[in-house]
Amino acid sequence: MQADLVAPREELDFYDARGIDLPRPMTALEAWNIAMRKPLPGVALAFRIRDAISSLFGVKRIGGFSGPQNRTPIVGDKLDFFLVERNEPECLTLSERDRHLEVVTCITTYGQRLTITSSVKVHNGFGKVYMIPVAPAHKLIVSTMLRRMQRELDGD
């Protein structure tokens, strides 16, 4: 399944796609909920630091992740700070957009493969500076989250 992106790939300022093989087929929302079940240590602090610094530049606070959802979101709902743009069995597309940058994260499942694809389009200097620490942090967080998820699922 093709992941949704914020813009055509050649126009992106950041692109990252990482995946794992699943022990069984699952929906994209189920994968999201499993990944969110146990927050990674340090991520809450990272979001607090992000919010404190970014709010000085007029960026809204996002707060971070709250854990798995007990409901099925529809297009237009929020999953934490993300806007749900698409929720289908094999594709969950989430976005966050402001005047500095646009982010789309797309969770796809196809058969027994899970992929998390994130794309960013930067709009100004603050967005460029913001992405300097965020790009490598994002890759580390997603990689770690997927490794934890793989270990947890392999133990089921």
In a domain, 2, yes or no: no
In a domain, 100, yes or no: yes
Checking if the pLDDT of 4 tops 90, the result is yes
In a domain, 3, yes or no: no
Q: What is the pLDDT of residues 84-111, one digit of tens each?
A: 999 999 999 999 998 899 999 999 999 9
- Between CA 40 and CA 42, with CA 41 as vertex, the angle to 5 degrees is 110
Note the pLDDT of residue 68. Answer: 58
Report the SS3 class of residue 35: helix
Note the pLDDT of residue 9. Answer: 97
User: How many other β-carbons are positioned within 10 Å of the β-carbon of residue 91?
Assistant: 20
Checking if the pLDDT of 55 tops 90, the result is no
Note the pLDDT of residue 38. Answer: 76
Structure tokens that stand for 16 in this block: 């990252």
- Residue 73's Cβ-count burial label (10 Å; 0-12, 13-18, 19+) is middle
CATH code of the domain in which 82 resides: 3.30.530
Checking if the pLDDT of 63 tops 80, the result is no
DSSP alpha helix (H) spans, the chain: 28-36, 43-55, 125-155
Are 153 and 132 in contact by the 8 Å Cβ rule? The answer is no
Are 118 and 55 in contact by the 8 Å Cβ rule? The answer is no
Q: Of 11-15, 55-59, 111-115, 147-151, which range is least confident? A: 55-59
| 77 vs 46, higher pLDDT | 77
Note the pLDDT of residue 102. Answer: 96
- Domain holding 97, by residue range, is 9-155
In a domain, 124, yes or no: yes
Reported confidence tier of residue 51, pLDDT bands at 50, 70, 90: low
pTM value?
0.86
Q: What is the pLDDT of residues 113-139, one digit of tens each?
A: 999 999 999 999 989 998 999 899 999
Q: How far apart are CA 121 and CA 82, in angstroms?
A: 16
Number of structural domains in the chain: 1
